[in-house]
Amino acid sequence: MRTTLVLCAAAVALALPAAAWAHAGLVRTVPRASVVVNRPPPVVLLTYTEAVEPRFAAVSVTNAAGNSQTAGAPRRSASDPKTLVVPLHRVAQGWYLVYWRVISVDGHPVRGAFTFAVGPNPGPAPRFVVPSISETAATPRLIAARSVVFVAVMGAIGLFLLRIAIARPVVRRVPETRLRGVSIAFGLAAAVGLIAIPVYVLMATAQFALRSTFALGALIPLLRDSAFGRGYLDLELVFALFVVAAGLALWIDRPEREQRSIAELLSIAGAVAAAAASLLIPGLSGHAAQTSPRGAMVLFDWLHLWAGSVWVGGLAGLLVLWRSFPVARRVAGLVVCVPRFSNVAFVSVLTLIGSGTGAALYHMPTFASLWQTSYGQALLVKIGLLGAALLLAAVNLLRTRPRLLAYRDRPELGPGAALLLRRLVSGEVLLVVTAVTAAAVLSSLPPPAKGLAKEGGASAHVGPGRVAEIVNKNGYRVEIRVAPNRAAVPNMFFVRITRRGVPVRGAEVVTGFTMLDMEMGSQSYVMKETAPGVYERSAPALVMVGHWGLSFNVTPHGKAPFNVLLVDRANG
């Protein structure tokens, strides 16, 4: 029943239109960033691009001396689930730093900071000591735990498919052969998966809550408070249903009979449905469901996991068969199993390549993102590992398989082919498991922002540090300055526009800010003309350390508009 509900929920989710962000981005604050308010605000309001869980939100409001001004923990607004409400003590006149940390729907932490002042005479803004505003979910412990989860879950599903469908005929065709070894390997992989999933959720929740993993009393009530935690606990339940259904199917299966009974067919169908649901949940809880178009991305992720499960579980199963078959029957047994697996593996590899390519085309806004971003670099490592595994698979397909098929006519080829198979398959297993680890790193990193697609049209790359750049565009001379060009503090943005040495007065100048290291949406501000041809605006728009796309959209009075784009690096 639970499996059916998960599948129905997934179908509804895929049918809905998607315009999702990959990470929670701060879109509005009260008080507004860098503004001076005349009355002490009773609360600070933080509105994000998605609903965030208050129990994992860390928000501090401190004065210039570093003293906390918060009067309680953040809570969700009753009128807007995307808004956090932070109560304050009655604050005095002066400047204040708001530092925030929230957890995105896909389990990625995001941090930022901004300032505001209470007047009427707060004085000059002090140099606040800003806590770290960069954080990653790609920690070694979490990557290791995530890798174990996926290797175990995918391995169990692949071993079950090998045992119940691919290797089953060997018992009838080759005397003295049994499939008990593959069934035991399935049980071991399933047990590891059932243990690893809740351990991984516990470790991730500990990072969300900034607590020790061993603080069980504090962490267990929080496990389902994040969308990420709920997704992986659902995975635990659905995977457990798969293990029960698959165990039942293996228990009642009689491989010595060619025809299956109705009970066998029903148990296999239930196990396959539960496996399909298990492989769907990671996509619904991760990047795929947070990337538009959501339906296509979840489908690519699901197909990728299916294909990988068939490959990694099947390869591990071949090694178990090689070891468990009697020595006198080993070659004969492999002659039955290897060609059947090769046919299935060929289709799974094509599916793996196709789904991976489709997802990469959506995630990579530019070709250069492959080597210019951490996400792209992890993807290249994964591609390299899978490419090496495919080379070994090709050798198996072109050399080992023909030798095994020729065994009946030339028995002397059998032992050498079996030994070559074991060596090549062992190498494949190692490479594929390492590729799963690379995939764990990949899924722990934010995909590149779509704003990177604009980088090729940038007039200049600037930063870190103060910016002073002159750009000639459409007959205009545009002088741009940014000071101090630091994240999490108010920055002054200055633009002087001239044409043939004459100041361009009365233009409409709008500056936009797009985070290029992760998908967080964009902000824009109208700049005010403070002198002939000079436009200025102070704004805390650079809320995070990293690369930003700074666009200056200029519309001269009565003339055609034009745009100047800078790629800026802001440090803390």
- The DSSP secondary structure of 250-302, one letter per residue, reads HHH--TTSSSPPHHHHHHHHHHHHHHHHHHHHHHHTSTGGGSSSHHHHHHHHH
Buried b (16+ CB within 10 A) or exposed e, 301-315: bbbbbbbbbbbbbbb
pLDDT for residue 348 is more than 60: yes
pLDDT of residue 288: 74
State how far the Cα of 157 lies from the Cα of 243, in Å rounded to an integer. Answer: 9
- Determine the Cα–Cα distance for residues 190 and 152; give it in Å rounded to an integer: 6
Confidence grade of residue 445 (pLDDT, cut at 50, 70, 90): confident
pLDDT at 411: 79
Quote the pLDDT of residue 556: 94
Question: Do 24-118 and 451-570 show the same overall fold?
Answer: yes
Average pLDDT over residues 94-121: 84
Q: What is the pLDDT of residues 243-258, one digit of tens each?
A: 999 999 999 999 988 8
Task: Give the confidence band of 428 by pLDDT, cuts at 50, 70, 90.
Answer: confident
Residues 6+ apart with CB under 8 A from 370: 364, 376, 377, 379, 380
CA atoms of 538 and 125, how far apart (whole Å): 12
Beta-bridge mates of residue 496: 479, 534
How confident is the model at residue 77, as a pLDDT? 93
CA-nearest of 365, 360, 295 to 18 is: 295
138 pLDDT more than 80: no
pLDDT digits (tens, 9 = 90+) for 495-541: 999 999 999 999 999 998 887 766 665 678 899 999 999 999 987 67
Q: What would the 3-class secondary structure string for 185-215 be?
A: HHHHHHHHHHHHHHHHHHHHHHHHHCCCCCC
Residue 58 makes CB contacts below 8 A (sequence gap 6+) with 99, 100, 101, 102, 210
CA distance readout (Å), 206 to 84, 212, 237, 527 = 21, 6, 21, 43
What is the model's pLDDT at position 444?
75
- Rounded to 5°, the CA angle 284-286-290 comes to 80
**Is the pLDDT reported for residue 488 higher than 90?**
no
Q: What's the 3-state SS for 365-398?
A: CCCCHHHHCHHHHHHHHHHHHHHHHHHHHHHHHH
Tokens of 34: 């860098």
- Average pLDDT for the chain: 85
Q: Give the C-alpha separation, 236 to 248, whole Å.
A: 18
Banded model confidence at residue 156, pLDDT cuts 50, 70, 90: very high
Q: Which of these ranges, 125-129, 139-143, 223-227, has the smallest mean pLDDT? A: 125-129
- What's the pLDDT score for residue 20? 36
Measure the CA angle with vertex 100, ends 54 and 142; round to 5°. 75
Specify the 3-state DSSP secondary structure of 540: coil
Task: Let me know the angle formed at the C-alpha of 432 by 430 and 434, rounded to the nearest 5 degrees.
Answer: 70
> Treating both helix axes as pointing N-terminal to C-terminal, what angle do 140-161 and 180-209 enclose, rounded to 10 degrees?
150
Q: Sort residue 241 into left (φ over 0), alpha (ψ -120 to 50) or beta.
A: alpha
pLDDT one-digit tens code per residue, 266-316: 999 999 999 999 999 988 877 777 777 788 888 998 999 999 999 999 999
CB 163 within 8 A of CB 183: yes
Mind listing the pLDDT tens digit for each residue in 162-213?
999 999 999 999 898 899 999 999 999 999 999 999 999 999 888 888 888 8
Lowest mean pLDDT among 113-117, 380-384, 525-529: 113-117
φ, ψ at 453 (rounded to 5°)? -65, -25
Decide if pLDDT at 105 tops 60.
yes
- Tell which wins on pLDDT, 449 or 86: 86
Q: Which amino acid is at 480?
A: I
Contact between residue 508 and residue 525 where contact means Cβ atoms under 8 Å apart: no
Alpha-carbon distance of 308 to 291, in angstroms, equals 22
pLDDT at 235: 95
CA 83/CA 29 separation, integer angstroms: 9
Identity (one letter) of the amino acid at 287?
A: H
How many Cα atoms occupy the beta-carbon half-sphere of 295 within 13 Å? 7
Q: How far apart are CA 126 and CA 66, in angstroms?
A: 11
CB 487 within 8 A of CB 572: yes
pLDDT score of 236: 96
Q: Which fold has domain 24-118?
A: Immunoglobulin-like (2.60.40)
Is CATH 3.20.20.70 correct for 451-570?
no
Instruction: Quote the pLDDT of residue 239.
Output: 97
CA distance 241 to 259: 26
> Residue 491 and residue 132: Cα distance in Å, rounded?
18
Tokens of 358: 């489709």
Can you tell me the distance from the alpha carbon of 565 to that of 454, in angstroms, rounded to the nearest whole number?
Answer: 8
Confidence of residue 421 (pLDDT cuts 50, 70, 90): confident
Cα–Cα distance measured from residue 280 to residue 242, given in angstroms and rounded to the nearest whole number: 13
Two structure tokens written together for 85? 């409400």
Does 135 score more than 80 pLDDT?
Answer: no
Q: Hey, where are the domains in the chain? A: 24-118, 140-448, 451-570
pLDDT of residue 6: 39
**Phi/psi zone of residue 501: left (φ > 0), alpha (ψ -120 to 50 degrees), beta?**
left
Query: Residue 442: its pLDDT value, please?
Result: 79
For residue 503, which of 511, 495, 513, 492 has the smallest C-alpha distance?
A: 495
More confidently predicted of 90 and 3: 90
DSSP secondary structure, 430-488, as one string: HHHHHHHHHHHHHHTSPPPPGGGGGGGG-SEEE-SS-EEEEEEETTEEEEEEEES-BTT
Q: What is the share, in percent, of the chain residues with pLDDT greater than 70? A: 90
Q: Are 291 and 362 in contact (CB under 8 A)?
A: yes
- What does the DSSP assignment read for 495-527? EEEEETTEE--S-EEEEEEEESSS---EEEEEP
Burial of 538 by CB count in 10 Å (0-12 exposed, 13-18 middle, 19+ buried)? middle
Of residues 418 and 269, more confidence is placed in 269
Q: pLDDT value at position 118?
A: 93
pLDDT above 60 for 401: yes
Instruction: Look at residue 452 in the predicted model and tell me its pLDDT.
Output: 62
